[in-house]
Amino acid sequence: MRQSKLATKTLKETPKDADNISAALLIRAGFIDRIGSGIYSYLPLGWKILKKIEDIIREEMNAIGGQELLLPALHPREYWEATGRADLDAWYQVKSKQGKDFILGGTHEEIIAPVAKKMIFSYRDLPIYLYQIQTKFRDETRAKGGLLRGREFSMKDLYSFHVDQADLDSYYEKAKEAYFKVFNRCGIGNLTILTYSSGGPFSKFSHEFQTITESGEDTIYLCKKCNIAINKEIIDEQKTCPQCNGDDFEIKKAVEVGNIFKLGTKFSAPFEVNYLDEKGEKKDVIMGCYGMGPSRILGTIIEVHHDAKGMIWPEAIAPFQVHLLAVGESENVKNKAEELYKDLIAKNVEVLFDDRDESAGVKFADSDLLGIPYRVVVSEKTLKEDGVGLKKRSEGEEKIVKIEELINKLK
Amino acid sequence: MRQSKLATKTLKETPKDADNISAALLIRAGFIDRIGSGIYSYLPLGWKILKKIEDIIREEMNAIGGQELLLPALHPREYWEATGRADLDAWYQVKSKQGKDFILGGTHEEIIAPVAKKMIFSYRDLPIYLYQIQTKFRDETRAKGGLLRGREFSMKDLYSFHVDQADLDSYYEKAKEAYFKVFNRCGIGNLTILTYSSGGPFSKFSHEFQTITESGEDTIYLCKKCNIAINKEIIDEQKTCPQCNGDDFEIKKAVEVGNIFKLGTKFSAPFEVNYLDEKGEKKDVIMGCYGMGPSRILGTIIEVHHDAKGMIWPEAIAPFQVHLLAVGESENVKNKAEELYKDLIAKNVEVLFDDRDESAGVKFADSDLLGIPYRVVVSEKTLKEDGVGLKKRSEGEEKIVKIEELINKLK
C-alpha cells in the first residue's frame, strides 16, 4: 500500500479528548476515530489489526471445536423476559414505531439458548460449541476507556453445551488453554493473568483473563508464588491463593480481556434446552460461556506496547510487516524505493510504502508513531553502500543491509 | 467437516412462518434461524456462505481502490440533525439511561462524511474510496421478506470522494462494472439488470441492480432491446429506455440487490467536507455512494437457484464443494468413506462428510436440500466398481467414477 493513497492522516498533537494512552496514540496515528463517548470508527489501519486479532481468535476457537455463527444484535424483548434480565441497567432498550420492544444485544445467552434448543435432541448431539464475533452494545454510564470500555465494542462469545458437569469441566480447561494461545499470539500473554472471580449458583469461581497495566480499571491480587490472581471484588471471601493457599499478594491494576463462566442450567432451564440421555430420560443441558474482546485486546496491546514516540505492534497483528521509507528528493532514491516496493509485494511481504512528498523528519516520526515492526529506509546514504537502513521498531539500532539480503533479514 | 458434528438439523416440514421460498429452504436446511420478524441468526452453514459473499465483495471493492473500515452502529443523534434526516421513519431511535439520544445506523452517510473530513485537506488527498461491511438496522413496518427485507441485515456501503463531477462520473462507471463482477461470481449476474431509478438534486437517475424473481417486491420495466430496465417508480417521468429510446418493455418482479447514487455535495456541504484546489481555493468534495446487501444476495441466490428438492448453491459461495455420503451399514463402506474423507481434506477440498447413522433415503434427501455442488456417494454398489457415485446438484445424472479419478473430475 502506498502511504500517499492510504486513507490515514496522522496528527502532530495528542487529541485532548482521548481517554487513555492507547486511545490517544490510535487516534493520533489515524487508526481509529472517536464518534462519541465510547463509540469509535476503525479506520483502515485499525480495521486491519482488528481483523487480524479476530482471525487469530477464530483459529483458536475452531481448534477447540468451535463452530462459528452470527446471532442478531436486535433482540425481541420477550427473550429477555424469560430470564428476568430484561430490565438490567446495562442494556439499551429500543422501541419500534409500531411499539415493538427490543433490547440491543449486550450479551447473547438469551438468543443462543433457543437456537441451541433446535439443534440438541439427544445425548448424541452433545457436546457442541458455538461462537460468534459480534458487536455488543452496553449502556455504560461512564464510557471513558477508549477501546478498553466502550458503548459499542467487538466481542467473541463462545457457548458450550454438555451432557454433564464433568464434560463441561474438561472443556473449560481446554478453553483456558486456547485463551492463552490467543493472548500469546497477540503479544500480551506474559502480562495476562488467570484471575479468580465471583462464580454463581453453579460454580464457586468464574475466571477472568486480566492484563496488567496501569490504565486498567480492575484491581487484582497477584499471588507472588503462582502466576494466578484473585479479583479484588472477591478478596474478602477468598483471602488465599486458590492454588497454593498462600496469602502473599502483589496488588496490580489490570484490564479484563476475557472471561469464562460455568453457567450450569441457568439459561438451559428457562429455555428448556434439554436432551434425552442413553436411558431415554430428559435432562437439562449444562452450559459454559467464554467471552473475549477483540477491540479491548487491540487497545490493551498498545497500553503495554508503546514508547514516547508511538506504538509498537507485535508482528502477528501488525497492519503491515514493513514500513518502507523513501528519504530524500533524488530520482535515484525514488526509483530504487519503487523497485524495492514492487519486489517486496511480489514476495508477499505486507508493506506500507511512504512515497509521500514529506521531509525525512516527518517520515521518521510517522513511522515511529505507526509502529510497524520493520522500518526499511532508502536514501542516498544507504544506496552508497548498495543497501537500505533496517531497524526493528522494538529495537534501537538501524543497520545497513544489502538490498539483496533484505528479504532474508526480514524472515 | 463431519455432519454428525455439524451444528445443523434439517427439518422435514417447511416452516409455517417462512416469508418466502428462500427463507423456507434456508430455515428447513438449518442455514438460518428466525428470531423474530425480519431478524435472523446465521447458523454455521449460512454464516459460511455469508462470509464467502462478503469476501467476494471485498475483493471487487479492493480492486477498484476501496479501503475497508468499520463505522459504528450507534450514532449520536446530533450527526443526523446536521442533515435533517434524524426523524425519518426508517430509523430506530435509542435513548440511553442518561438521556443521550442515538440512532441505530440504517445508513452511514452522516458518519462517513465527518470521518472523511479528517482525511481530506487538499486536492492531493482525492479521490478516496472508503467502504465497510456493516450490520444495518431499519425500522421496517412490514418485515416479511425473509433475507430479502429485514430489520437487521448485512450491507456493504462504499463512499467515494472526488474533486469534481467528471471524476465521480468516471468512478461511478467503474463501480457499475465491479458490481456486475460480484453478481456474476455469486451466480446471479445473468438475471441482474441495471435499472434506472430516481436520482435527486445532483443527478437525473440513480441506478439499482435488480435481480429478476417472482418473489421480488419491486417492479421493473425491462427494455426488450437493451438489457437495462426502468424502475416502475419513475416510469411516469421516464417513459422510454434511456439507452435506445424505445418503449417496448417487459414488466418483471425483481429484488434490489444493489444501489448506486451520485450524492454530489448533499452530505459534504453540511459537514463541511472540503479541500483546497491547485489554486488554493476551498471547494466542496463531490461524493458518490454504492450500497450492496450481502444477506439479501444470499436470499436472492436461493430464490433463483432451487428446485422442488432444495437449494442449489453456485460453487463460488457454496459452504462446501463436496457432500460425501457413506450409504449402507457395512464396515467396508464406512472405512472407504473415512479414507476418502481424509484424502479430500488433505487435497484441500471443502468437504462435508455425512457420517451419520441415517438411512440412505434421509441422506439423499438432506443432500438435495443442502444443495452442495457435488454429491459423492460411497456404497457397496459403487465399491464393486472401485468407484463412487458422482452427481452435480445442478444436473440429473449420477455417474460411477473411479476413486483415483475423483479429484480430477471435481476440478
DSSP string, B282-301: EEEPEEEEEEE-HHHHHHHH
Question: How far is it, in rounded angstroms, from Cα A369 to Cα A11?
Answer: 10
Question: How far is it, in rounded angstroms, from Cα A375 to Cα A389?
Answer: 8
Q: Which of B68, B72, B114 sits opposite A44 (nearest CB)?
A: B68
Question: How far is it, in rounded angstroms, from Cα B163 to Cα B153?
Answer: 32
Taking the mean position of all CA atoms in its chain, how far away is CA B109? 21
DSSP of A310-325: EE---GGG-S-SEEEE
Strand partners, B39: B36
Give the residue from chain A lying closest to B67, CA to CA.
A44
Partner-chain contact A118 B40, CB within 8 Å: no
Our CA-based measurement puts residue B42 at a distance from the nearest CA of chain A, in whole angstroms, of 5
**Nearest CA-CA partner of A49 in A38, A37, A57, A60:** A57
Q: Which of B65, B118, B151 sits opposite A33 (nearest CB)?
A: B118
Q: Which residue has the cell 492484563?
A: A211
Question: Domain limits of chain B?
Answer: 21-307, 320-410
In the predicted model, what is the mean pLDDT of residues B121-149? Answer: 93
Above 90 in pLDDT, residue B16? no
Q: What residues in A contact B350, CB-CB < 8 Å?
A: none
Q: What residues in A contact B55, CB-CB < 8 Å?
A: none
- Which grid cell is B226? 437493451
Q: What residues in A contact B89, CB-CB < 8 Å?
A: 97
| DSSP 3-state percent helix, strand, coil across chain B (nearest 5) | 30, 30, 35
Please answer whether residues A157 and A288 qualify as being in contact, where contact means their C-beta atoms are separated by less than 8 angstroms.
no
Q: Is the peptide bond before A127 cis (omega within 30 degrees of 0)?
A: yes
Q: Cite the beta strand spans of B121-248 per DSSP E.
A: 128-137, 152-162, 192-200, 203-212, 218-223, 228-231
Give the residue from chain B lying closest to A7, CA to CA.
B119
Higher model confidence: residue A221 or residue B13? A221
Q: State the distance between the two ends of chain A, measured CA to CA, in whole angstroms.
A: 20
Our CA-based measurement puts residue B333 at a distance from the nearest CA of chain A, in whole angstroms, of 22
Question: How far is it, in rounded angstroms, from Cα B113 to Cα B334?
Answer: 59
Q: What residues in B contact A75, CB-CB < 8 Å?
A: 35
If one looks up domain A320-410 in CATH, what number appears? 3.40.50.800
Model pLDDT, residue B140: 87
Partner-chain contact A73 B152, CB within 8 Å: yes
Model pLDDT, residue B411: 74
In the predicted model, what is the mean pLDDT of residues B58-70? Answer: 98
Above 80 in pLDDT, residue B142? no
Confidence of residue B144 (pLDDT cuts 50, 70, 90): confident
Please answer whether residues B277 and B29 qualify as being in contact, where contact means their C-beta atoms are separated by less than 8 angstroms.
no
| pLDDT tens by residue, B182-225 | 999 999 999 999 999 998 888 899 999 999 999 999 999 999 99
Model pLDDT, residue B387: 95
Q: Measured on CA atoms in the order A401, A406, A408, A411, is the torsion positive or negative? A: positive
Q: Is A354 left (phi over 0), alpha (psi -120 to 50) or beta?
A: beta
Model pLDDT, residue A47: 98
Our CA-based measurement puts residue B350 at a distance from the nearest CA of chain A, in whole angstroms, of 15
Give the residue from chain B lying closest to A36, CA to CA.
B76
Which letter, b or e, does each residue of B78-98 get, where b requires 16 or more Cβ atoms within 10 Å of its Cβ?
ebbeeeebbeeeebbbbebee
Partner-chain contact B67 A41, CB within 8 Å: no
Q: What residues in B contact A7, CB-CB < 8 Å?
A: 67, 69, 119, 128, 130
DSSP-derived secondary structure letter, A2: B
- Which grid cell is A278? 442413553
Q: What's the half-sphere exposure (Cβ side, CA atoms, 13 Å) at A398?
A: 13
Confidence of residue B158 (pLDDT cuts 50, 70, 90): very high
Tell me if B21-307 shares its fold with B320-410. Answer: no
Provide the 10 A C-beta neighbour count for residue A161: 28
Our CA-based measurement puts residue A200 at a distance from the nearest CA of chain B, in whole angstroms, of 27
- Rounded to 5 degrees, φ, ψ at B372 are -65, 140
**Nearest CA-CA partner of B370 in B358, B355, B352, B346:** B352
Question: How far is it, in rounded angstroms, from Cα A148 to Cα A144?
Answer: 8
- Which grid cell is B260? 448506486
Q: What residues in B contact A50, CB-CB < 8 Å?
A: 70
Question: How far is it, in rounded angstroms, from Cα A323 to Cα A372?
Answer: 6
Partner-chain contact A118 B33, CB within 8 Å: yes
pTM above 0.90, yes or no: yes
Model pLDDT, residue B98: 87
Model pLDDT, residue A194: 98
Interface test with A, best of B94, B140, B295 (most A CBs within 10 A): B94
Model pLDDT, residue A166: 97
In the predicted model, what is the mean pLDDT of residues B135-151? Answer: 89
Q: Which of B69, B95, B97 sits opposite A42 (nearest CB)?
A: B69
- To which CATH superfamily is domain A21-307 assigned? Bira Bifunctional Protein; Domain 2 (3.30.930.10)
**Nearest CA-CA partner of B127 in B209, B65, B84, B71:** B65
Q: Which of A6, A46, A152 sits opposite B73 (nearest CB)?
A: A152
Our CA-based measurement puts residue B242 at a distance from the nearest CA of chain A, in whole angstroms, of 36
Model pLDDT, residue B407: 87
- Which grid cell is A386? 548498495
Partner-chain contact B47 A69, CB within 8 Å: yes
Question: How far is it, in rounded angstroms, from Cα A310 to Cα A318?
Answer: 14
* CB proximity list for A236: less than 8 A, separation 6 or greater: none
Q: What residues in B contact A41, CB-CB < 8 Å?
A: 69-72, 111, 115
Model pLDDT, residue A142: 77
Q: What residues in B contact A64, CB-CB < 8 Å?
A: none
Q: Which residues of chain A have pLDDT under 70?
A: none
Q: Is B245 left (phi over 0), alpha (psi -120 to 50) or beta?
A: left
| pLDDT tens by residue, B245-273 | 999 999 999 999 999 999 999 999 999 99
Element (H, E) at A182: helix A165-185
Interface test with A, best of B4, B35, B121 (most A CBs within 10 A): B35
Question: How far is it, in rounded angstroms, from Cα B337 to Cα B355?
Answer: 8
